[in-house]
Amino acid sequence: MINEDSKKLGKNVRKIRTQNNITQEEIANILGVDRSFVSNIENGKNNPTLSTITNLAKALKVSVEELFK
């Protein structure tokens, strides 16, 4: 169910990011990636590495577990 997990992750990243008024561009700058990479994660089109997921959680100031709820 990698596809479902990617969609769930993306949905939660977008929800947390928008709740905190953070842009995709800001997250991309923190992670050192292109904004389209963040967009692809949020749209479930990308299967990020554990390292990227950990860095996303840090950038959003939440736990990794929170990204998968």
Written as one letter, the residue type at 55 is N
Say which amino acid occupies 36. S
**Section 5-14 average pLDDT:** 94
Token pair of 14 as six digits: 């977008």
26 or 3: which leads in pLDDT = 26
Comparing 2 with 69, which gets the higher pLDDT? Answer: 69
Reply yes or no on whether the pLDDT at 2 is more than 80.
no
Q: How many domains, the chain?
A: 1
- Over residues 12-61, the pLDDT tens digits come to 999 999 999 999 999 999 999 999 999 999 999 988 999 999 999 999 99
Q: Is the dihedral of CA 54, 34, 28, 66 positive or negative?
A: negative
Domain residues for 61? Answer: 2-67
Q: The domain that contains 20 carries what CATH number?
A: 1.10.260.40
* Model pLDDT, residue 47: 86
